[in-house]
Structure 1
């Protein structure tokens, strides 16, 4: 049972690879989520893709993993505030993205608390 539970340490960060693939494989879709008041939507799309990839690598290598997990939490929270709430005002379909991202934030915080090994950030 313990081996099965330990798979979560690998599966959770690797599940974010889908977002990396979307950011780099279909950049126009990711850029369409960038708020119109921010210049350079393609830059922000690629920048976010690199940040997500940095979280994955950090979590798998267990180097600065707590910091990267908390920064990933901040990224998802900012996505809720800057992208999904404004879009939900126009279309209730984005409410699902808000709820999904709240669940992801919860999972990231649990991961940061119980899985990460970087003890430079006390918490």
Structure 2
């Protein structure tokens, strides 16, 4: 499903791709890179509902219903983004959904296990997913020209920038872990100079975060980080998935592929809402 949405999205965005130059070509497909993982995770919710059920707060009624509801919503959102149907509404609802995930699931987990940096990184990851959607929604409300749109774009930009800078520090402090979103996976032994790639990715995240905070360089900084995350998806996590054997390893590999691509799409949504710098 994720691959189908990628193909449909690239076909739908072909005119924007042809008109864009340089890194703006990547920005032109930012929504596609954001949408495809949503579709993949949506199907995962439908196929593995009883496994994902464990993440739903125990106090919620009909917990399994919400797993399936979110799965259908993610697939619908993915199709909306790539087909250009009700994009503003979709982006707004996605931002609300991810922020609810952070408040209802990740923050309680982080508070209960405050010593575990991975749990905090997961919370920041979903927070950034919501912030990217918020930036997109704000840019579409009124082209980010009045107070409401400008505020949403600004909040989304600041949140993504702060998350990038935190991730940059994490990657530099713990270079043995795979670069990208700093989670628990170690860099495979077949990757040459793993610490170097982690350091470089960390520096890109730090620099990109600072650039995003500066209005003049926001688009360039976000596009650069989006490019790095896309390359990591293609040349690190996709090979990990293709070399995986056994259902658990394949599922883990697929999750890392779509997770990293979704983070790339998130940063590119911030780039889309930023003004182009005169060349």
TM-score (norm 2): 0.39
Mapped to 1, the partners of 2:77 and 2:83 lie a distance apart of 10
Mapped to 1, the partners of 2:142 and 2:78 lie a distance apart of 15
What is the match of residue 131 of structure 2?
Answer: 106
Unaligned residue ranges in structure 2 (runs of 5+): 1-21, 150-279
What is the root-mean-square deviation of aligned Cα atoms in Å?
2.2
Change in CA separation of 1:4 and 1:85 when aligned onto 2, cut-off 3 Å: closer
- Tell me the number of residue pairs that the alignment of Structure 1 and Structure 2 aligns: 120
Which stretches of structure 1, 4 residues or longer, exceed 4 Å deviation after superposition? 116-119
Change in CA separation of 1:32 and 1:5 when aligned onto 2, cut-off 3 Å: same
What is the match of residue 96 of structure 2?
Answer: 74
Unaligned residue ranges in structure 1 (runs of 5+): none
Of 51-60 and 17-26, the range deviating more from structure 2: 17-26
Mapped to 2, the partners of 1:94 and 1:112 lie a distance apart of 27
Contact 1:64–1:118 under 8 Å retained in 2? no
What is the match of residue 33 of structure 1?
Answer: 55
Matches within 5 A, 1:1-123: 1=22, 2-91=24-113, 92=116, 93-114=118-139, 123=149
Question: Higher relative CO (CA 8 A, sep ≥ 6), structure 1 or 2?
Answer: 1
Of 73-82 and 38-47, the range deviating more from structure 2: 38-47
Of 14-23 and 73-82, the range deviating more from structure 2: 14-23
